[in-house]
Structure 1
Amino acid sequence: MAVLGAFLAALGVADAFRDTHPHGISPARRYTALVAGLVTLIALFAAGGVTPATGLSVGVPLALLLAVWVLLDVITRTVGETAARSAAFLALGAGIIVALLFGDSSSAAWPAWAPGPLSAFSPSQVVFVTGIALAQVTTANVLVRLILDAVKVPTKAGTDRLRSGRVLGPMERLFIVGLGLAGNLTAAAVVVGAKGLLRFPELAASESSTRAAASPIIIQSSMSGEPAKGAGVSPTVPAHQGPNPVTEYFLIGSFASWLLALAGLGLARLVLG
């Protein structure tokens, strides 16, 4: 439990330094993110009571997988964007599997001078929940970005119009995970529905403006009502075909975010019981 929580927390801290988009960051920021992630991994191993033997045998592979995740832009320049994206997904999945299979159960307890309400939970449980929360706040944003890139969603317009999604997404995922752990998934469904209702006017306005911009312009002659010859504009097929980029960005991004929240909830229920 503590091993998995430490790995997820290390990812979350590293991604907080790296920012949401994993490409095009400065070398200083990139390696600062990696160092911050490694320090978090080691510190939470110690806080969660992970034994030195487990820390060495499991910590080294997890550190390497963390490096693959953080150095995604470097790997992209070497092997290409598609292969690097696949390596990042595999590193994340492999890290979770390694932590689940080989992370031992910790018997660490709080010191006697810490009798507060938090001491009702074991240190390994606190580390695990912290890791789940940090991963939902930052790492899930990076995953959503990678998923949007993978399906080639035209994200420029969506990013410009729906910038608050980077803030709403983590809040929404934390609500879903928290309410799910509390046994109230119905309330989580209300949160999901509310987001769609709040975004609907903006999406509708974007759809209307896109259609208006794509409509052919016909200049009528003053005498016959026929299109003026030589006007330089002809009725052509609208330039915009298919779903609105902003709508597509919202739908795929939202569903990816919800699935990641449900994955975090499922992982928490699996580990915590």
Structure 2
Amino acid sequence: LHQRSIITSTPFKFLVGHERKLLTVHAALIAHHSKPLGVLVRGPMLEANQGFAVLEDIEEGTFIRFSQYAYTGDYSTPAPGTSGDGATTNDATNGAANGIANGGGMSDESGLMSPTSGEYSATITAADLKMYVPAPPPFKPRKNRDATEDYTDIFLCHARLYVFAEKYDIAPLKRLALYKLQRTLVDFTLYPERVADVVELIKYSYTNTADMVGTPDDLRVLVIRYTGYVVEDLAQNPQFTALLEEVSQVGRDLMRQMLKRLE
């Protein structure tokens, strides 16, 4: 898409979220990235004639990150929140990393995670990246440093952007959001105090994606594979056990994942 066609196109207004925050993006850029949104801003629909659309079900931060991606090909990640008294527990585990180090390599037919015999940082190969994100922008997620750092918003920013991209048919953004979430989970140290962060990610992923037969949703695949590697850390958490009762598909898919590991 030529820069001139972007700049000369009409800015389109979006009223986003429950508070209907006004955000503006060039119409040509919207249409270039998303056919459904392109119809909204340039097609025969009422919104195109009015010059604005209401996206009440989209979180403001998600749309801002989509706008960043539309203009630059990348998006920013929020800083971690803070909670607790600052104490750091010695029981922290990087569950996925430990699974790899103990010989439980993550096999992955779709390229989300790959087998490895050593360091977890080597789980994504150059070939995987070409298949997964053809030319990913440089991304080195910040590692959490202690149990007070809340990563809920960080996890959810990637998951929400994936769901947004799925809804509006933006396949490259879906792949990028999955890639960033995967890299973030790889480097995440799961302190007992931070189990709730992971539970929120699982819950969001399963309540905002379709339960498909045959070809499971990619976000669910990534999240449940990670869950399988940290299940021992999650098992005694009341929020996780409540989630298993509330969303039956989580327990079903987790059981399948555990059986694959046994094989």
Tell me if both proteins adopt one fold, taking TM over 0.5 as the criterion.
Answer: no
The structure with more helix, counted as a fraction of residues: 1
| Higher Rg | 1
TM-score for the superposition, normalised by structure 1: 0.25
